[in-house]
Homo-oligomer: A and B are copies of this chain.
Amino acid sequence: MAWNFAAGPARLPDAVLAQAGALFRRSDDGACTIERPFSGPRFRAVLANARQRLAELLDLPSNYRILFMAGGAMQQFALLPMNLARAGQAVAYADSGYWSRRARQEAGWSGPLIEAARHPGATALTAPVAGKWALPADCAYCHITPNETADGIAYPALPDTGAVPLVADCTSALLLAPLAVEKFGLIYASAQKNIGPAGLCVVIVREDLLERSPVALPAVFSYRQQAEAGSCVNTPPMLALEMAALVFEWIAGQGGLPAMAAANQKKAALLYGAIDGSRGFYQAPVEAVHRSPVNVRFQLAADALTERFIEQAAAAGLQHLRGHPQVGGLRASLYNAMPLAGVAALVDFMADFARRHG
């Protein structure tokens, strides 16, 4: 038995992988989904099903639209200002770690850039304080990364940005637990953590923000035009979408987002508990209340043992535990598809490794 703790692309549910092969079986019309016109009724049914299931999971307020777009979150980094800000308008970004800084950098915004908030301490081991953030009223949006995949940091609460729409990269957070969608202007999440295969990005946008997309924006990049076309400005990533629908169905079958939240809490508690109970052999550097529930960052007190740990873990079937290259150390990602048994196997190995090297 091997367990894959990759930060994404990450493990998909066993049941989804077992069903996915059937997506390549042709139906009575001599075609499977990926061979059919995207404008035809059969694919439109696939799309409507995916949209409906996601809306149900999120209990989506009626004034929000779901867009299924091609590419990943990095494409959204660039599309956000193109759609939401006017030339010369200010945009705000909070700095909570590696990916929030990438989002700001790839926005390539030539207008004023406001730092909405940042780590309060000298070292980046907390998220910004989520109080009331002072922002100019004409600021186009305020961007946050509620869960920092690389740094293992999560916001314990959402900031109050007043009238400025809160925009969030929820790539590693969406579908882990119920979400108060109404607090956001826009949420986006690339598929390869909790949704399906890479190449698909979910964008959830409050309807009034759609009006901001400039008329001259190329149609595929325009939230407004994608919304008007039901995500079919051009052929969407059909196969990834069909698999995403299977994932949504699987989550619903498990009991929806409350059930995911309960299972994820258990997994995180087991792993952080093992780290905190190791008498310092393992350490979780992030301050407790800011620890990511899903990307568990840890390290060995004896740093010289890190490579040995990674090597022996891999030999024991515990894969992809190396930390993000920009952060170092170790990291275990525990998305929805990781069962408690996988975390238990990791915790057992960690105890054994500590005994042998402690």
> A residues engaging B (CB < 8 A)?
1-4, 6-12, 17-18, 20-22, 24-26, 28-32, 34-38, 40, 70-75, 77-78, 106-108, 190, 192, 197-200, 216-221, 233-240, 243, 317, 319-320
A190 — nearest CB in chain B belongs to which residue?
Answer: B235
Contact B192 A4, beta carbon cutoff 8 Å: no
Contact B24 A11, beta carbon cutoff 8 Å: no
A7 — nearest CB in chain B belongs to which residue?
Answer: B37
21 A–B pairs (Cβ distance < 8 Å), ordered by A: A1-B30, A2-B26, A2-B29, A8-B235, A9-B35, A9-B38, A21-B21, A21-B22, A37-B320, A40-B320, A70-B70, A71-B71, A75-B221, A197-B237, A197-B238, A199-B199, A199-B237, A237-B237, A237-B240, A239-B243, A240-B240
A43 — nearest CB in chain B belongs to which residue?
Answer: B9
Contact B198 A30, beta carbon cutoff 8 Å: no
A25 to B18, CA, bound (A): 8
A190 to B198, CA, bound (A): 17
Residues of chain B with a CB closer than 8 A to A200's CB = 199
CB distance from A107 to the nearest CB of B (A): 8
A345 to B267, CA, bound (A): 57
A216 to B30, CA, bound (A): 47
Of A3, A21, A71, most B-chain CB atoms within 10 Å: A71
Contact B108 A217, beta carbon cutoff 8 Å: yes
Contact A11 B28, beta carbon cutoff 8 Å: no
Given A6-B35, A75-B218, 8 more A-B residue pairs with CB atoms under 8 Å apart are: A2-B28, A2-B31, A9-B38, A71-B220, A78-B220, A107-B218, A199-B236, A237-B240
Residues of chain B with a CB closer than 8 A to A320's CB = 36-37, 40
Residues of chain B with a CB closer than 8 A to A319's CB = 29-31
Contact B34 A198, beta carbon cutoff 8 Å: yes
Among B28, B32, B218, B235, contact of A78 (Cβ-Cβ < 8 Å): B218
CB distance from A81 to the nearest CB of B (A): 10
CB distance from A242 to the nearest CB of B (A): 10
Contact B26 A198, beta carbon cutoff 8 Å: no
Contact B199 A238, beta carbon cutoff 8 Å: yes
A234-B72 contact, Cβ under 8 Å, with A1-B30, A77-B218, A108-B217: yes
Contact B34 A12, beta carbon cutoff 8 Å: yes
Residues of chain B with a CB closer than 8 A to A2's CB = 26, 28-31
Contact B35 A24, beta carbon cutoff 8 Å: no
Contact A240 B199, beta carbon cutoff 8 Å: yes
A215 — nearest CB in chain B belongs to which residue?
Answer: B108
CB distance from A292 to the nearest CB of B (A): 18
Contact B37 A11, beta carbon cutoff 8 Å: no
Contact B4 A31, beta carbon cutoff 8 Å: yes
Contact A36 B21, beta carbon cutoff 8 Å: no
